[in-house]
Structure 1
């Protein structure tokens, strides 16, 4: 017999399902599955949000660096313009 999930065969999976039905009842299993699915979707969304937040933290730093470079170049251009205006007068 070939293992299906995590080394469990068909007989073991049937036994686990039987125990679940005995513990929770057949009417509660769909509700339990829905709740588990919702929890996993929320968990996935939150973990994705955490990784997205990390990327957002890097972007403002890069923007600040680019702004500082542009300000420095603008200052150089302003100084050059002032120098040209002085020599023209």
Structure 2
């Protein structure tokens, strides 16, 4: 049995919150963000407002995978990370 969309959003928020608090991450976490977002975006019943947030997080994860320094990439997105988590909280 797969994760529900609620569990998937919670997983995204957990990873983003960890990035924000720890200021570090891994390529595997970015890849996981991408997989979960792709799965959520396939959900036709998903609120269009959260889809915009998911698109932003997806771009963040894509650029994080290829970043020269993952830690620097996370530090550069600190404001976005907290904003994305707050926005997801309002839709979940």
Question: Into which bin does the TM-score normalised by the smaller protein fall?
Answer: under 0.3
Structure with the higher helix share, 1 or 2: 1
**Normalization by structure 1: what TM-score?**
0.24
Instruction: From the CA coordinates, give the structure whose radius of gyration is larger.
Output: 1
Does 1 or 2 have the higher relative contact order (CA < 8 Å, sep 6+)? 2
